[in-house]
Structure 1
Amino acid sequence: MATSEILEVSDPSRLPAAPVVSVLMVAYNHEAWIGAAIEGIVGQEYADGFELVIGEDCSSDRTREIALDFQRRFPNLVRVITSAHNVGPAANHARVIAAARGSLLAFCEGDDYWCHPGKLAAQARLLQENPQAAMVHADWVRSRRDATGAWQHRPEHSEHARLPLRHLQGDLFHAFYFGRILRTCTLMVRRSALEAYKAAAISRPAYRFEDTVINAYLTSRWSVAYWPEVAAVYRESPGSLLRSGVASKISFLRSSLQFDSDARRFFADRADYPQAYRWELAVGMALWALKGRDLAAFREAVSDLWRHFGILGGLRAGWETLALRLPRARRRREGQR
């Protein structure tokens, strides 16, 4: 991972002296989408003081130019963190967290956007009212390209429709890995909780992701609050880690399996560690390996399933997975009628 001197473009005289919330945005080659992402943040109806910290990682398109234009237009809100050379997603994410001044941190990557102007105010209030909660999340929708190339989403088909509250608030350690629930673009997190995570051993290995690791740690130590409104739109943009081809997907799943091995040791005090997580990873790896005709990866995945689950354990883990995913399957069938 390359390193580079951090450069900041901001106007300290116009920014809030002590923002309650720092909104963190990492951006790389997001020219087509970052304008909408920033608009959704600067349009928030929040009176207690917040800032937007954009980590621009030397994009090859107009991403930096657009970010700097918003900084000039909104000097009371926007800070742009960049450098002379690309540092990669992990370092970019780390430097915006380090630059943040708020006690509460919210997240929105440059290809997603917020669709509710009350998101910051409502989530900050929920954390103030629930001191035992380390974070708060909200409902969201997916945006995909249609046959014409236009981005489309259906607000009435939110990702949390039909999910019971036990999967959305309170103790969510059993579902920390389930991407429909703790979607990053909907989260607001206490800075103190994130600092505790950074000090923990589980944060130190270099996995190909960090959001699941953070969610695992925070849900194991604190409860989660929930705001039941559609707050964000998640774009399934091309070129992302999970949409960069079969080899990238298999590499991601291998890294996830390594995290699961580490997590089982780190969370040994939690009898409710979700066994279905590894089952989903190994089954997913087997299916992607078949698609890519990667015989070695397929054998690795099948061997992992047998070693960790056997027949009865695999059936139990499969049932746990079905219990989380069944509501979505029902909604899909109803939408096709």
Structure 2
Amino acid sequence: MDKPLVSISCIAYNHESYIRQCLDGFLMQKTTFSFEILIHDDASTDNTTDIIREYERKYPDIIKPIYQKENQYSKGIPISATFNWPRAKGKYIAMCEGDDYWTDPLKLQKQVDFLEMHSNYSLVCGGYLYGNSREKIVLEKESISFDLDTYTKWYTKTLTVVFRKKFLEDYMDNIGLYKYSRDIHLFY
């Protein structure tokens, strides 16, 4: 496999009911580039681990799991920042948690094409369907800028984001500024 252009970062914990759909959403991606799937199972107590192992056996060159014996999140460890991002080989990182999934087989291709053509953008995100209500959230602007002090609305959801890996260094340098560092701190 060529060096991946995109590293998909996925965290899972007791996502037995969702993890297949999540992994299938990654594997259905039609791209002109290679990608890797970095999945971190945080000591699930259901069948999540077994399902991930099944996919790992089928796709050993793509799926790169970490299986924890003790839950790391409960110890206050930032999972993606500690376990997935440091091993990411891609220029870009896409995120999707184990209880979410992608429906568009061209998601990665469209987002990476945009970032490759627009070097002044740090990330790209898109619309999504929300929960059981199937409420469709559509972003209506190409670019959004705002002040975090007056921030009142979620413009991104983790499962829609692809960002440039080079911006992780600044985030990691400042992760201690937040009592509960979340994806929102990275995105904004």
| TM-score between both structures, scaled by the size of structure 2 | 0.89
Change (3 A) 1:48 1:24: same
Relative to its length, the structure with more helix (as a share) is 1
CA distance in 2 between partners of 1:193 and 1:51 (Å): 19
Give the match for residue 93 of structure 1: 80
Equivalences, count: 183
Residues 213-270 of structure 1, C-alpha deviations (whole Å, 9 max, x = no match): 1122xxxxxxxxxxxxxxxxxxxxxxxxxxxxxxxxxxxxxxxxxxxxxxxxxxxxxx
CA distance in 2, matches of 1:182, 1:206: 19
Give the distance between the partners of 2:168 and 2:152, measured in 1 at CA.
17
Residue 109 (structure 1) aligns with: 97
Match in the other structure for 2:165:
191
Gap regions ≥5 residues in structure 2: none
CA drift at 1:75:
1.6
1:172 equivalent to 2:150? Answer no
Q: Give percent identity, aligned residues only.
A: 27
For 1:139 and 1:164, how far apart are their aligned partners in 2? Answer: 9
Please say if residues 19 and 48 of structure 1, whose CA atoms lie closer than 8 Å, have aligned partners that are also in contact.
yes
CA contact (8 A) 1:46 1:118 kept: yes
Aligned to 2:38: 53
Answer yes or no: is 1:118 the counterpart of 2:106: yes
Q: 2 CA distance for matches of 1:164 and 1:72?
A: 41
In structure 2, relative to structure 1, the CA distance for the partners of 1:177 and 1:125 (3 Å cut) is farther
Tell me which residue corresponds to 2:137: 159
Tell me the distance in 2 between the aligned counterparts of 1:109 and 1:71. 17
Aligned with 2:125: secondary structure? strand
C-alpha contact 1:24 1:108 (8 A) present in aligned 2? yes
Secondary structure of 1:22's aligned partner: strand
Taking the TM superposition and a 5 Å limit, the aligned residue runs for 1:188-267 are: 188-199=162-173, 201=174, 203-216=175-188
Structure 1: 5+ residue runs without aligned partners?
Answer: 1-15, 145-151, 217-337
Task: Answer with 1 or 2: which has the greater Rg.
Answer: 1
- Letter in structure 1 aligned against 2:167: A
C-alpha distance in 2, partners of 1:173/1:214? 14
CA contact (8 A) 1:177 1:215 kept: no
1:43 aligns with 2:31: no
The CA deviation at 1:30 is 0.5
> Does structure 1 residue 80 correspond to structure 2 residue 58?
no
Matched residue SS, 2:15: coil
2:162 maps to amino acid? M
TM-score by length of 1: 0.51
Distance 1:107 1:20 in 2: 14
Q: Does the CA-based 8 Å contact 1:177-1:212 persist in structure 2?
A: no
Residue aligned with 1:60, SS: coil
How much has 1:74 moved relative to structure 2? Answer: 1.3
Larger RCO of the pair (alpha carbons < 8 Å, separation 6+): 2
Q: What is the identity, as a one-letter code, of the residue corresponding to 2:32? A: A
Cα deviation, residue 85, structure 1: 1.8
Q: Find the counterpart in structure 2 of residue 142 from structure 1.
A: 130
